[in-house]
Amino acid sequence: MNVLSRLFTTDSINLNAQASNKAQAFENAGQYFATKLQIPCETVLSFLNAREALGSTGLGFGVAIPHGRIKGLQEPCAALFKLQTPIEFGAPDGKPVSLLLFLLVPEKATQEHLEILAVIAQLLTNPQTLDQLQNETDPEKVRDLICHWEALQ
C-alpha cells in the first residue's frame, strides 16, 4: 500500500466519464466532490480553476492532475476520471487529455500535498502503469493498481 491507498475507493473512479471540455470535466468533478464531501460544487470549481489559471495541470501523455487546496477540508480526497473522448487541456506535449486525477487537500496541507502530488506524478508518468490505467475497465482493478503501485527506487 502507498500514500494513495486511503484516497481512493471504487466510487471515486469513473472510467466512463463524459466531458467535451475542461470546464465540463471540472464541473463533473465538482459535483462528485460536493456530494462526497458535503461542500458546495462552486467551492471546488473555484479552487480548481484558480490553480489552473496559474498554469495547466496537464502532464502530457494524455494525463492531467487538476488539484487545489480547499479551505475547511479535513483530509485529502481524490478522484480519477477516464474520459470517453479526450479533451484539450493545454498539456506541454499538446496532446488532448483523457485521464484526469483530481486531488483536493486541506488548505494547510502543504508538505502532504506535495508528497501526494509527487507519487501521483510518478504513477502517471510510468509508461506501463499508464497503459494499464488507460485500458482497464474495472474500477476495482484500477483502485488496486493505484493503491499497490510502488515507485522504482
The number of C-alpha atoms within 13 Å of 125 and in the hemisphere containing its C-beta is 12
- Residues with Cβ < 8 Å from 118, sequence gap 6 or more? none
DSSP for residue 21: S
**Active-site hit among 67, 82, 113, 143:** 67
Residue type, 22: K
Long-range CB contacts (within 8 A, 24+) of 30-39 = 32/79, 33/77, 33/79, 33/102, 33/104, 36/11, 36/12, 36/77, 37/73, 37/77, 37/104, 39/70, 39/72, 39/73
Active site residue 148: no
Rounded to the nearest 10 degrees, what angle do helices 139-148 and 127-135 cross at?
Answer: 160
Residues taking part in catalysis: 67
